[in-house]
């Protein structure tokens, strides 16, 4: 009952074949403008392939992350969100009230990393950065606690 589509060995994927499931997951990530968590990705996938399993989604997301095709981000302390890696690094700004996510990039991040590398004798391979706050619309609603 599994999907049968010719697989091609893909060098970008550590010489692992591009199976139908993998192609489907990548397609969904490509279509999605935003980051998806594994469950939502699975929900969308199952509409095209009724037999794909959540385990396959997780396994392949992990693979994609390892080979550098996909970025995994933790935007809300609970689950991870996945998105296709792009040419320019970007980071996220999340509103604590409405959940709105804004992407931003800044050369400052590179500068910061360089500075830290110089001062610490570390080679920095990954910078995890996200900002939390209140967006334009929700600034006023900040709970007084």
Residue at token pair 């970007």: 90
Q: Is 19 in the site for DNA (CB under 7 A)?
A: yes
Alpha helix segments (H runs only) across 49-103: 54-67
Q: Is 98 in the site for its own copies (CB under 8 A)?
A: no
Cα separation, 94 vs 102, whole angstroms: 6
Among 11, 136, 143, 144, binds its own copies (CB under 8 A): 136
Q: Is 38 in the site for its own copies (CB under 8 A)?
A: no
Q: Which is nearer to its own copies, 2 or 110 (CB)?
A: 110
Q: Which tokens hold the place of 78?
A: 């609970």
Q: With CB cut-offs between 5 and 8 Å by kind, which of its own copies, DNA, none does residue 59 bind? A: DNA
Site for DNA in 54-93 (CB under 7 A): 54-56, 58-60, 62, 78-80
Site stretch for DNA (CB under 7 A), options 11-19, 28-36, 117-125, 135-143: 11-19
Q: With CB cut-offs between 5 and 8 Å by kind, which of its own copies, DNA, none does residue 60 bind? A: DNA
Site for its own copies in 65-84 (CB under 8 A): 74, 77
Cα separation, 128 vs 130, whole angstroms: 7
Cα separation, 141 vs 93, whole angstroms: 17
For the range 18-22, what are the long-range contacts, defined as Cβ-Cβ under 8 Å and sequence gap of 24 or more? 20/49, 21/45, 21/49, 21/52, 21/56, 21/60, 22/60, 22/63, 22/64
Q: Which is nearer to DNA, 21 or 92 (CB)?
A: 21
Q: Is 10 in the site for DNA (CB under 7 A)?
A: no
């Amino acid at each position: 009952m599994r999907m049968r589509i010719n697989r091609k060995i893909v060098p970008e994927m550590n010489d692992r074949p591009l199976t139908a499931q993998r192609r489907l997951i990548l397609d969904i990530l490509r279509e999605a403008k935003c980051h998806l968590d594994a469950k939502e990705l699975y929900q969308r996938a199952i509409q095209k392939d009724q037999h794909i399993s959540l385990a396959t989604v997780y396994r392949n997301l992990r693979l994609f992350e390892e080979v550098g095709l996909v970025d995994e981000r933790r935007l809300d302390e609970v689950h991870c969100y996945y998105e296709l890696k792009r040419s320019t690094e970007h980071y996220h700004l999340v509103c604590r009230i409405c959940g709105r996510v804004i992407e931003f990039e800044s050369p400052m991040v590179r500068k910061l990393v360089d500075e830290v590398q110089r001062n610490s004798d570390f080679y920095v391979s990954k910078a995890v950065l996200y900002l939390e706050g209140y967006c334009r619309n929700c600034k006023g609603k900040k709970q007084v606690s």
